[in-house]
Chains A and B, each alone.
Chain A
Amino acid sequence: MDVAAAICLLLGATLAFAAGVGMVRFPGTLARMHAATKPQVLGLHFILLAMWLRDPSWKIAGVIVLVAVYQVVTAAVAAYVVGRAAHLAESPQDDGTAVPHGDTRA
């Protein structure tokens, strides 16, 4: 059980790390929104799963499921609002702030 929890923790941290790399390296707002969803949904769910695996009880599971559902619902709505604003403002695909600047556009 502890091994499974450790693997889940490492996977969640890896996804958060990937989001950090994406924040620095991706060239535009919409591209960075793609990286932003990783720790918000899958990374957080791995961490919550690890929390439950360390103490598998119903009392813990209720709150953990509530946190997971809130996060999924709010991430979708926030991504919609931010993406709509970015689209209406015609934000450029490459605003020149990706860190190894150059031809990083996918």
Chain B
Amino acid sequence: MTTVYLIVLGMLATAAAMTFYRLVRGPTMLDRAVALDVLTAVVICAIGAGAAVYREYSVLPVLLVLSLLGFVGSVSLARFFSGRAR
């Protein structure tokens, strides 16, 4: 299980790094909203993987909060920067 955990963490870290590149690069605010959404999903995946490996289920409320937080972030970005702001 430890080997699997290390592989999973490596893949998730690479995914987060590539998503972060898009978050910085843009070019529009909508791209950043999409990237922020993906970054939140990757963080949820990482927390869930840690919980699954160590059987540590006290983080379940964190997953619940993060899944709603990513939604609010991307929707408000899309509402207030309707695609034109660079």
Using a CB–CB cutoff of 8 Å, the interface residues on chain A facing chain B are 2, 5-6, 9-10, 12-14, 16-17, 19-21, 23-24, 29, 32-33, 35-36, 39-40, 43-44, 47-48, 50-51, 53-55, 60, 63-64, 66-67, 70-71, 74-75, 77-78, 81-82, 84-86, 88-89, 91, 95, 97
Given A55-B57, A66-B64, 11 new contacts (CB under 8 A): A6-B1, A10-B4, A16-B12, A24-B22, A36-B35, A39-B38, A47-B44, A51-B51, A67-B44, A78-B75, A85-B81
Contacts of A39 in B (CB 8 A): 15, 38, 41-42, 45
For A36, give its contact among B37, B71, B81, B84 (CB under 8 Å). B37
Using a CB–CB cutoff of 8 Å, the interface residues on chain B facing chain A are 1, 4-5, 7-8, 11-12, 14-19, 21-22, 25-28, 30-31, 33-35, 37-38, 41-42, 44-45, 48-49, 51-53, 55, 57, 60-61, 63-64, 67-68, 70-71, 74-75, 78-79, 81-84
Do residues B48 and A44 form an inter-chain contact, with CB atoms below 8 A? yes
Do residues A9 and B57 form an inter-chain contact, with CB atoms below 8 A? no
CA gap between A35 and B18 in the complex, in Å:
12
CA gap between A41 and B25 in the complex, in Å:
25
